Amino acid sequence: MAKSQLIAFCSIDVIGSTAFKTQKDRSEASEQAWFQFFQEFHEDMRVRIESAGGWEFWKSAGDELLFTSEVLQKEDMVHLVNVLKAAIDRHNEGFQKQEKEKHLAVKGAIWIAGFPVVNAVIKSKNPDIKPDYLGPSIDAGFRICKFASATRIAISVEAAYLLSSAVVSDQWNEMQGIRYGGETELKGVFGGNPYPMLWIPLKDPFEEAAFKLTGKPERLDRDDFIVYCKAAIKKVNNELACHLPYIVGESGQPTFGNIPDLHSVRKQSIDKKEAMQEAASIGESGNNTDGQDIPNDDLQTKITKSMP
């Protein structure tokens, strides 16, 4: 039986990395220096993130680092966000103290995805290769990364809903809430509806001063924000593209949120198909899934039973 999971994803990237690598005054020796810098940055960031608990390194894509974490209860989101905020703030403060690195900055984004009904986990035959993830929630997550900056952690509307549902008023105020900057089109996601530009503020006295001066973007009331997220998600009107998040316990019953009827039906279908395949020992049926796109109709047959 395919396990129902809610997985959080985060992206960490370096702003200004291209200019840093291509400075005109670089000598042959300094070319190795920039490589060493990014190697040390990756190692340090991985240790800092993973040692705090929760996040697990997934993969790197150029300068970008990607992490995942299974969300077992809504309160996990508070910890995951705090770990990400602390790591980014620490690195950005360090960059500002270094003459050669003061033009660099770290940015981050966080989103969630539910499995196996809406999204799929693709496992390689090679046990040394970590799984890949496909689905509309993954696509949307990578798209919102463009909202991130040195002073803002971009967050998906589903993750924002879960986070705001998990915190109490004091925690909401301590983390300075979630900011709203309007809506914009993200091609191919969110059912064609404008996507909410949401972010968690990082340490930046100048931006805070600007917010107070202009009154925008506003710090939102937690209860009002939860209502907004619900309305934005329901507006998509397609529970196989975007839905209110839910967490399923070991008993198979939700410990947070409600499982849509359509998801229950699809989950039963997935489990039945998986059982038939196992009984017939069909396995992969000769299809090579490593590095290849899988037709949408066949996605759910490739669901793994557990996280790596």
What pLDDT, in 10s, does the model give residues 111-161? 999 999 999 999 888 888 899 999 999 999 999 999 999 999 999 999 999
Q: Is residue 120 part of a domain?
A: yes
Average pLDDT over all residues of the chain: 85
Range of the domain at 132: 5-302
Element (H, E) at 243: none
What is the reported pLDDT for 218? Answer: 59
Q: Is the pLDDT of residue 183 over 70?
A: yes
> Hey, what are 189's tokens?
């996601």
Domain count, the chain: 1
- Nearby residues of 183 by Cβ (< 8 Å), 6 or more positions away: 194, 195, 196, 197
Confidence of residue 205 (pLDDT cuts 50, 70, 90): low
Lowest mean pLDDT across 90-94, 245-249, 284-288: 284-288
More confident residue, 194 or 284: 194
* Contact by Cβ (8 Å): 81, 110: yes
> Hey, what are 145's tokens?
């990364």
Q: Is residue 101 part of a domain?
A: yes
pLDDT above 90 as % of the chain? 58
What is the reported pLDDT for 95? Answer: 82
Q: Is residue 187 part of a domain?
A: yes
What is the reported pLDDT for 297? Answer: 43
Average pLDDT over residues 177-204: 91
Q: Is residue 70 part of a domain?
A: yes
Confidence of residue 19 (pLDDT cuts 50, 70, 90): confident
* Contact by Cβ (8 Å): 139, 189: yes
* Contact by Cβ (8 Å): 117, 172: no
Confidence of residue 43 (pLDDT cuts 50, 70, 90): very high
What is the reported pLDDT for 247? Answer: 98
Q: Is residue 68 part of a domain?
A: yes
Going by their DSSP bridges, the two strands 5-15 and 64-70 should be labelled as antiparallel
What are the residue ranges of helices labelled H in 97-168? Answer: 136-144, 157-166
The domain that holds 65 is classified in CATH as 3.30.70.1230
- Nearby residues of 77 by Cβ (< 8 Å), 6 or more positions away: 8, 71, 112, 159, 162, 163, 166
Does pTM top 0.75 for this prediction? yes
Q: Is residue 84 part of a domain?
A: yes
For the chain, report the end-to-end CA distance as a whole number of angstroms: 16
What one-character DSSP code corresponds to residue 68? Answer: E
What is the reported pLDDT for 206? Answer: 64
* Beta bridge mates, 14: 106
CA 126 distance to own-chain centroid: 25
Q: Is residue 307 part of a domain?
A: no
Confidence of residue 20 (pLDDT cuts 50, 70, 90): confident
Q: Is residue 226 part of a domain?
A: yes
Task: State the Cα–Cα distance between residues 81 and 175, nearest whole angstrom.
Answer: 9
